[in-house]
Amino acid sequence: MPALTSNGLAMRAALVLEALAADHNVHLLVIPPHRGVGRPIPQPEIARWCAGVKVLVVANREHPLFRLIAGAGDAREKLAGYRAYPRPALCRFATPEAVREAAQAFPGVAFSAIHVFRLYMVPFAEPYLSDTAAERPFSALDIDDHESTRARRFAALYDAAGDHLLAAIERSEAEKYDAMERQWLPRFGRVYVCSEMDRAEIARQCGCENAVVLPNGVRIPPRVPATGRGAPFTFLFVGNLSYYPNDDGVRFFCAEVLPRLRATAPRAFRVMVVGSSPSDRVRALSSHPDIVVTGLVPDVAPYYRDADVAIVPVRAGGGTRIKVLEAFSYGCPVVATSIGAEGIEVRDRVELLLADAPDDFAAACAELMREPELRRRLSKRATTFVRARHSPRAILERLRSVGLSSARGSTGVAVEGASP
């Protein structure tokens, strides 16, 4: 479900929904694929932006073949089954019955445009794409993340961690996303990506001339004085810890960077790890006196306002990391890996510090501890940067310039979303 504050996918969905609602009557169809999600309820702001909201629950109706594969006990049989399954795993809920239900979600509404969020949701949009050219609604696809690239990076992380079964599955997923990208992207009137890097790569791989950059954005919080900075110095990581690159990034920082930082830090410090669904391995990090793992919190704002530095030690992923933009919006200086800041047009030592190797990451953290003027300078420039390029207003103006302008005045726009 699109949400004002949540993980990055929900926040991007909400910003785009808000921008679409400024010019269109929007009907929102949410299709949560994961077990245990149930029937999500939209926040009041989300509901106000929509002429109608429907939730199609498919979590217990996955394709029978996929259910059979997932239940295989032998690892080799499971891998062979995943490789043979023709579509990415998240498409397993798009059965013919579910697709028909999605197409009938808003009876009587004649849509002049449809906006699809995420590549794996495209099968649900097929009824809208199969009409003749004269009858077909204007179609837009927000892939947000270059899925084939993301899957290959996940595979590399799993291989490095010794989990070769998951690595092989992710490589298989990458091949399937490759095929989906070539099949579906040219069929949309517009394809939105997060960064120029993704746009160029998609154009090269798929010959897709209809892709444009619609950057991620964040809501700019009110400026409230910090209450806890200074005792002790605080490094902050914020992210959904069920997302493997976040889990890996936290463990990489604590295992590889933190020992080096402890040896060079000019004074005492702590590391705050904030995010939902931490694994047992991440929870165990709290046994160290300078590491705090909070789990899910109702509001990240107090943690950003009390932090001295935000860390983004992420080593895989795709699209752009909203956590960097979020830290910028709170005026919190950032140390990130190159992949952690990928796709955002920032410069090392101007808006943030970039470091990849453990020694370099630790040195950057220690430098920010020693140099309050550097922290202030990075904070000021980062805040100016995010306000100019990644605020809700900037996203609205960008969408108006490259998006559904040909569909203005429509009686309805169907937005299909997936609960991340």
Domain co-membership, 80 together with 212: yes
Predicted confidence (pLDDT) per residue in 347-382, tens digit: 999 999 999 999 999 999 999 999 999 999 999 999
240, 186: one domain: no
CATH number of the domain encompassing residue 109: 3.40.50
pLDDT at position 134 = 63
Q: What average pLDDT is seen over the chain?
A: 89
CATH of the domain at 276: 3.40.50.2000
Same domain, 185 and 302: no
The confidence score (pLDDT) of residue 283 equals 96
- How many structural domains are present in the chain? 2
Same domain, 161 and 115: yes
Residue 331 falls inside a structural domain: yes
Residue 383 in any domain: the answer is yes
Within this chain, do residues 397 and 287 fall inside the same structural domain, yes or no? no
222 falls within a domain: no
pTM: 0.88
Clarify whether residues 359 and 410 are in a common domain. no
Residue 85 included in any domain:
yes
Using an 8 Å Cβ cutoff, are 413 and 112 in contact? Answer: yes
Percent of the chain with pLDDT over 70: 92
Residue 405: its pLDDT value, please? 55
Looking at the structure, do residues 15 and 72 belong to the same domain, yes or no?
yes
Q: How far apart are CA 121 and CA 65, in angstroms?
A: 19
Q: Could you read off the pLDDT of 294-335 as tens digits, one per residue? A: 999 999 999 999 999 999 999 987 666 889 999 999 999 999
Same domain, 201 and 94: yes
Same domain, 212 and 63: yes
Considering the domain architecture, whether residues 38 and 65 belong to the same structural domain is answered as yes
Domain containing 245 equals 233-389
Number of Cβ within a 10 Å radius of residue 185: 23
User: Can you tell me the distance from the alpha carbon of 300 to that of 304, in angstroms, rounded to the nearest whole number?
Assistant: 6
**Residues 223 and 259 sit within 8 Å (Cβ to Cβ):** no
Residues 400 and 307 placed together within one structural domain of the fold: no
Q: Is 310 helix (H, G, I), strand (E, B) or coil?
A: strand
pLDDT exceeds cutoff 90 at 208: no
Which of 103-112, 297-306, 396-405 shows the lowest mean pLDDT across its residues?
396-405
